[in-house]
Structure 1
Amino acid sequence: MDLREVPDPEVGPGQVLVGVRASTICGSDLRAIYREHLGEGPEAYQGVVGGHEPAGRVLAVGAGVDRIRVGHRVVVYHISGCGQCDECRHGYQISCTGAGRAAYGWQRDGGHADLLLAEERDLLVLPDELTFLDGAVVACGFGTAYEALCRTGVSGRDRVLVTGLGPVGCAVGLLAKALGSPRVIGTDPSPERRALALELGAVDDAVAGTDSELDALLDGPGGGAEVAVDCSGNGRGQLTALRHTRRWGRAALVGEGGQLSVDVSEVLIHRQLTVHGSWVTSTGRMSELLVNLARWDLHPEELVSNTFTLADAEQAYRTADAAQGGKVGITFTDD
């Protein structure tokens, strides 16, 4: 990465200038921008200011902006869609099929700068009870976790298995408990991440993920969790999640990447599983999540283990890439 001066953005019709106050680093950035360097499709990094998980304060608004006001504290939904396709009309700009789809930090300037130009429709007001860092963590990771749990309908009836205990996996655990799950079990090959998930209270048990370990926690062979969520993006983790979902249970796959080979009859059909592919969330559901977090007094910033100033952004990325702790954030002074 490099740090450079860029011109201050100017607001146009329907646009908002945000003074960024917190912007966290996502595993998708590390994978797709800094390793794969894709030039086309939804992960087509176009040499813009990085960072797709920003929150900040509104400094100026353009003509036609009436919902968002100067001074509002906001979270930026990280995909700006065309606004006209069926996906956008349902609030799922992440799945926008229009030619104008552009992700902050990927195809248009993102949150790793002190100023960010955003479309009004992409902004959600941050409740007073939540911090800017809370909002940044919601912008992608917590929103993704909440969507998966809503898709699977988690309630007090359900034990939850989480495969992959990075920031999104820990978010799944914390939110599952807030939704009433009596027990959350997590798997990860990293002892550091297992320890952190236990320390945060995101899981009740954390194991490496062998069949014998999970059988001992989930009613023996043939048992399983009522709900499983894979956050590993790894074929082995994905298969672990499916194989240890209880008969008639529900599973969600949210971890990007991985190649999955599965005996469809044995694992899915004969065990009557419902499997969701769940990609981020909608603006409506993210707004609902922000209200619920304030109500539950649950602060996503608990997942942040390291914060850096913009001047130390290179070290921030190195720390995130080491994958030994929780979420990594870049923070700015709130003038």
Structure 2
Amino acid sequence: MRGVILPGNRTVDFREIPVPQPQHGQVLVKIMASAICGSDIRAIYRAHIGEGAERYVPGMIAGHEPCGRIAAVGPGCQALKVGDRVSVYHISGCGVCDDCREGYQISCSSPVRAAYGWQRHGGHAPFMLADERDCIPLPESLSWVDGAMCACGVGTAWEALTRIGVSGGDALLVTGLGPVGMGVAMLAKALGANKVIGTEVSPGRRKMAQELGIVDEALEVDDKTLVRIKDLTRGKGCEASIDCSGTAPGRVLALQGTRQWGRCAFVGEGGKIEFDVSPVLIHPQITLYGSWVTSLKHMSDLLDRLARWGVHPEKICTTRLPLNEAARGYQMADKGEAAKVCFVFEG
């Protein structure tokens, strides 16, 4: 079979590998949708800058947001059978450390920890080998693209919202309306947040978020943005905020736009930040969280709630392409020409 690899230097190539056979505790997933994540762009597509958990093994099939149908099961599998629909949690941990026992395989520190699409073959190919324990049943009412988007990006959004406890009593500020930021806003609406304010430098993404009803307000980023946020919240700021921009200005704005005693989470990866700690964080007594991806249990909870709510993350996916157009898809994602790019498969 033919799969996508990422040599770096903003290039895409294809590699032929045999269709793998599942061993003990493994399943073979026929991929139906495989999305591009911002981390793929930042740490692999542009250049192989990742180390440790973000180290990309050259020649590895890319794609860590996979979703599909079980095509074969190996000996020792206990729950899944051929034909089952699954979304795949994109980290396979050791299974025995404290983090893995909590379902946070993302935080596994064992040398055997491996991410699909980074240190073991991922979803940018017709088939993918996965450990059964990494697969989460996909409800029938959710699409393949819904499931792919929850494997990392929308799962990351859900984790941050649950960590800071967003509910109907909150106004929420989201800085950065990329795929994760739009996912945060969409899920916050489903949770009942009484106002969702987004900020974004891209006019196209602001327009899309507004047209899709994902946010109540999509604000341009300039020297008056904080004033607008305060005006929309009776001068107080939002009870909760989540930075999805991964930029220093976005992170500072998220903190500044949070009201006294509020909660703020940083989700956007990379970069550095510097701010005056006392007036921005300590004196307003803001609680600041770092939130990294999600857990197996929370991803399962998310899929269940999406099905019950009738909420579909796929509406954020503006571009769906066959795998043979992978180079075009990665270029679009790199340039910010699409809110989300997903490769879709027939069958």
Indicate whether the TM-score tops 0.5.
yes
Most deviating of 115-124 and 1-10: 1-10
In structure 2, the residue matched to 1:45 is 56
Is residue 2:82 matched to residue 1:66? no
Letter matched to residue 47 of structure 2: E
Q: How does 1:207-246 map to 2 (within 5 A)?
A: 207-210=219-222, 212-219=224-231, 223-246=236-259
In structure 1, the residue matched to 2:100 is 88
Is residue 2:32 matched to residue 1:21? yes
In structure 1, the residue matched to 2:7 is none
Of residues 276, 294, 297, the one that matches 2:289 is 276
Letter matched to residue 12 of structure 1: Q
In structure 2, the residue matched to 1:32 is 43
In structure 2, the residue matched to 1:179 is 191
Letter matched to residue 292 of structure 1: R
Structure 2: distance between partners of 1:59 and 1:192: 39
In structure 1, the residue matched to 2:15 is 4
Runs of at least 5 residues in structure 2 that lack an aligned partner in the other structure: 1-11
Most deviating of 297-306 and 30-39: 30-39
Is residue 2:205 matched to residue 1:160? no
Identity between Structure 1 and Structure 2 (%): 56
8 Å CA contact 2:154–2:180 kept in 1: the answer is yes
Letter matched to residue 43 of structure 2: A
Superposed CA deviations along residues 119-153 of structure 1, whole A, max 9, x for unmatched, are 01100000011011110011111100000000110
Q: How does 1:65-144 map to 2 (within 5 A)?
A: 65-144=77-156
Change in 2 beyond 3 A, CA 1:90/1:160: same
Deviating above 3 A after TM superposition, structure 1's stretches of 4 or more consecutive aligned residues are: 219-222
8 Å CA contact 1:215–1:223 kept in 2: the answer is no
Structure 2: distance between partners of 1:286 and 1:39: 25
Change in 2 beyond 3 A, CA 1:313/1:153: same
The count of corresponding residues between Structure 1 and Structure 2 is 334
Runs of at least 5 residues in structure 1 that lack an aligned partner in the other structure: none
In structure 1, the residue matched to 2:304 is 291
Structure 1: distance between partners of 2:174 and 2:47: 26
Structure 2: distance between partners of 1:156 and 1:75: 29
Structure 2: distance between partners of 1:324 and 1:201: 20
Structure 1: distance between partners of 2:225 and 2:265: 21
Output the TM-score relative to the length of structure 1.
0.97
Output the TM-score relative to the length of structure 2.
0.94
Structure 2: distance between partners of 1:246 and 1:207: 18
Aligned-residue CA RMSD (Å): 1.3
8 Å CA contact 2:226–2:256 kept in 1: the answer is no
Cα displacement (A) at 1:3: 1.5
